[in-house]
Amino acid sequence: MKDKIERKISKISKDLIMQSLFRGVSAKRPEPGLIHHSGRGSQYCSHEYGKILNQFGMKTSMSRKGNHSKNTR
């Protein structure tokens, strides 16, 4: 049961992240080459998310593993 709940939460998170990306791109219309920086969460590392970033012409940037403080500087 715990695995089912964790998968559902993960899917909700991934869907929310994707929806947020689409809304942001729609509202701001960034030029190709924009650097999209994120943490290493599974929703950001997914093939599907990377494919969408590529479609928008964005470049990915992620903090190193175990170095979360870099995102705040």
72 or 4, higher pLDDT: 4
Averaged pLDDT, 16-45: 91
Residues 6+ apart with CB under 8 A from 42: 10, 14
Tell me: pLDDT of 63 over 90. no
What are the residue ranges spanned by the domains of the chain? 2-72
Query: Using CA atoms in the order 36, 42, 45, 48, what is the torsion angle rounded to 10 degrees?
Result: -100
Tell me: pLDDT of 67 over 70. no
**pLDDT at position 15, please?**
86
